[in-house]
């Protein structure tokens, strides 16, 4: 299973807005992707991680392209 460690780039961490953007994209990909073991297509599950700015998280899935796409979003400041 492909995976990638990334640093959370959003100033507010993986909170409401960044989590919603990531979950929407993950749902579009049609591939199972997780962030620290939780479903990346669920903004509520992403928020339960409590991942803050600068924290390292593990993005994993069954497709390398999907993992890379979600990892890139996690690294961006999506609340800007």
How high is the mean pLDDT in each 10-residue block of the chain (80 residues)?
Answer: 96 96 96 97 97 98 97 93
pLDDT for 64: 97
Query: 3-state SS of 17-54?
Result: HHHHHHHHHHHHHCCCEEECCEECCCHHHHHHCCCCCC
Residue located via tokens 């497709």: 63
User: Model's pTM, two decimal places?
Assistant: 0.95
Tokens representing 60 are 């994993």
N-terminal to C-terminal alpha carbon distance within the chain: 32
Coil, strand, or helix at residue 3?
strand
Q: Determine the Cα–Cα distance for residues 80 and 74; give it in Å rounded to an integer.
A: 13
Q: Determine the Cα–Cα distance for residues 17 and 36; give it in Å rounded to an integer.
A: 19
pLDDT for 50: 95
């Amino acid at each position: 299973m492909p995976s990638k460690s990334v640093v959370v780039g959003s100033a507010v961490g993986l909170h409401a807005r960044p989590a919603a953007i990531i979950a929407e994209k993950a749902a579009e990909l049609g591939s199972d992707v997780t962030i620290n073991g939780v479903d990346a297509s669920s903004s509520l599950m992403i928020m339960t991680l409590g991942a803050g700015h600068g924290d390292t998280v593990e993005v994993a899935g069954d497709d390398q392209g999907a993992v890379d796409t979600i990892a890139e979003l996690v690294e961006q400041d999506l609340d800007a």
